[in-house]
Amino acid sequence: MKKIIFSLLVAIAFCFGGCEDTNENLIGQRGVPVVPGIEDLAPAFFDLKSLESTFVGFNVVLSEGVTAEKVVLYVSFNGQGERKELATLTSFPAAVTVSAADAAGALGLNTDDIELGDVFNIETLTYANGETTWSVANVNANVACASDIAGTYSLTATGQGGGGLGGTSPWTAVLTTAEIVSKDGGVTYTIEPALAGIMVDYYAAYGATTVQGEFQDICGTITNAKVHDGWNPVSTYSGSIDEATGVITINFENNWGDGGEMILTPQ
């Protein structure tokens, strides 16, 4: 009799433990948020000169083995105002094309309302496992002009040092070429050397090296730069592109007063 009771208790304990573990797994699966990714963004901007026909394209993807009931695309304008529903996706990967006209229409705008420098913010809301999740993956589609400035440039630069030890003032760049590379097939580029070597000339004793930077060509204006001098972000980095010659002029300065003017001539 004792053996029967003991066996019965073991069976009950095993069942209870197994059932509890199964329930925990099911609950965990239901509560896990699904976050899609955005890949292959091209084109990455709306062309100001062709607003009736311009579009951005990208793929919405899920990780392998992950499913979602749907992903809803929302759009807002210049980082302000209410998000408006743009499209619903139910199969993945999903190839998405969003025209400027469709994005504007969802927001109650006309293409005539769109100006240079405007940004359409496209976000995803995912429905999966009983959860709704806003994704950190999004598309910020700038309104800009078609750009094609990638290449090798002859470089000249002059400027002054703010407090460095090695260089002379006024300063003249010893580097003679620069490379500009397209980052997204749109208006964003990397440039090296971003500061024409001024940090090396003035701060070699502290381990300074040439630096790579990033900027956008917004209809012939160099803007939205991300340049670091090796210690801090550069405070000033702007310029323009001569449409007739392709010559790029960039003015820069860091927080220490090291700065100057770069002239880049297409080779």
- Statement to judge: residues 41 and 85 lie in one domain: yes
CATH number at residue 211: 2.40.128
The total of structural domains in the chain comes to 2
Residue 11 lies in a domain: no
Last residue of a domain, one of 118, 144, 170: 144
Residues 140 and 157 in one domain: no
Residues 45-90 have pLDDT tens digits of: 999 989 999 999 999 999 999 999 999 999 999 988 899 999 999 9
Looking at the fold, whether 254 and 213 belong to one and the same domain comes out as yes
* Residues 129 and 44 placed together within one structural domain of the fold: yes
Question: Do 126 and 79 reside in the same domain of the chain?
Answer: yes
**What's the mean pLDDT in 30-58?**
89
Pick the last residue of a domain from 144, 160, 189.
144
Mean pLDDT of the chain: 86
Each residue's pLDDT tens digit, 97-155? 999 999 999 999 999 999 998 999 999 999 998 999 998 889 999 998 989 999 999 99
The verdict on 59 and 98 lying in the same domain is yes
Q: Is 199 part of any domain? A: yes
pLDDT band at 31; cut points 50, 70, 90: low
Task: Name the domain boundary from 97, 122, 144.
Answer: 144
Contact 156, 250 (CB under 8 A): no
Q: Is residue 196 part of a domain?
A: yes
* 258 and 219 part of one domain: yes
pTM of the predicted model as reported, rounded to 2 decimal places? 0.63
Quick: pLDDT tens for 158-184.
Answer: 998 876 566 677 889 888 999 999 987
Q: Hunting for tokens 């965990």 — which residue is that?
A: 28
Q: Do 109 and 162 belong to one domain?
A: no
Residue 123 belongs to domain spanning: 37-144
Residues 41 and 121 in one domain: yes
Same domain, residue pair 196 and 139:
no
Task: For residues 136 and 161, state if they share a domain.
Answer: no
Enumerate residues 6+ apart whose C-beta is below 8 A from 34: 62, 66, 67, 68, 126, 128, 129, 131, 133
- Assess whether 132 and 193 both reside in one domain: no
Q: What CATH number is associated with residue 134?
A: 2.60.40.1940
